[in-house]
Amino acid sequence: MTEGRHPVSPSPMRRAIARRMSESKASAPHFYLSTDIEMDALLTLADRRNDGRPRETRVTVTAFLVRALALTLAEHPAFNAAWNGDVVESVDAINVGVAIALDDGLIAPALLDCRERGVEDLSRGLADLVARTRAGRLRAPEISEGTFTLSNLGMFDVTQFTAIITPPQVAILATARTAERAVVRDGQLAIRRLMTATLSSDHRVVDGVGAARFLGTLKGLLEAPEAWARR
């Protein structure tokens, strides 16, 4: 053994993650597109919605992201699909997986049937999902039936990152910290709260134009949330 090195056997979860992510990266031709999204309107809406609420009942930004993703996936169903062998399987249900960090790894259980669920319902469902994930009480469909995944590191000092697609899904969205940045509006310098979102897509199933349109729809929703985030 080399001096100073201390081999540690990975946990079963870490071994499973390593296997699945290696298989995904090796077999799926990933490509990546990013966009900056102005979050001022959404954060103002969230603050208004949460005013006076106890912390445990507040609507989270992640819930808004999941709701916007569900609406985007309904408009762009090619991203709500699975690659199985040489066949692309379209999926009617929109089940958005959310990456949750555990002590020995990362898991992305799904919020099921997101198509018709409002932000309030999704926020409650997400809190319940996180609690049951950490308690080891997930249901089988939440583990196996995700159709798209969100990896949100907005709570950390991360400005941008890319994520590896969870097989057999065909895309994953990585969202980073929202921070004040200088932008130009009508020839004038302004300060906006921006979040960088990066979409990783499987080039066997979708292409760059489709991914750009997907991000455009998502950006439009997040920058104008009043019409869809009322409930």
- List, in order, residues 6 or more apart from 168 with CB less than 8 Å away: 82, 83, 84, 89
For the record, the structure tokens of 169 come out as 């899904």
3-state SS of the chain is CCCCCCCCCCCHHHHHHHHHHHHHHHHCCEEEEEEEEECHHHHHHHHHHHCCCCHHHCCCHHHHHHHHHHHHHHHCHHHCEEEECCEEEECCCCCEEECEEECCEEECCEECCCCCCCHHHHHHHHHHHHHHHHCCCCCHHHHHCCCEEEEECCCCCCCCCCCCCCCCECEEEEECCCEEEEEEECCEEEEEEEEEEEEEEECCCCCHHHHHHHHHHHHHHHHCHHHCCCC
Residue range 192-217, pLDDT digits in tens: 999 999 999 999 999 999 999 999 99
- Farthest CA pair distance, the chain: 63
Domains of the chain: 12-227 (3.30.559.10)
- The pLDDT value recorded for residue 79 is 98
Give yes or no: 203 in active site: yes
Residue range 105-157, pLDDT digits in tens: 789 999 999 999 999 999 999 999 999 999 999 999 999 999 999 999 999 99
Q: Which of 6, 30, 76, 203 is catalytic?
A: 203
d(CA 131, CA 142): 13
Check whether 6 has a pLDDT greater than 70: no
Helices 40-50 and 208-223, packing angle to 10 deg: 40
Residue in 43, 28, 6, 137 with CA at minimum distance from that of residue 84: 28
Residue in 208, 98, 97 with CA at minimum distance from that of residue 147: 97
Residue in 211, 214, 204, 210 with CA at minimum distance from that of residue 88: 204
Sign for the CA dihedral angle at 73, 45, 109, 107 comes to positive
Residue range 93-119, pLDDT digits in tens: 999 999 998 887 789 999 999 999 999
Q: Which residue would you say has higher pLDDT here, 192 or 10?
A: 192
Check whether 5 has a pLDDT greater than 90: no
- The pLDDT value recorded for residue 24 is 73
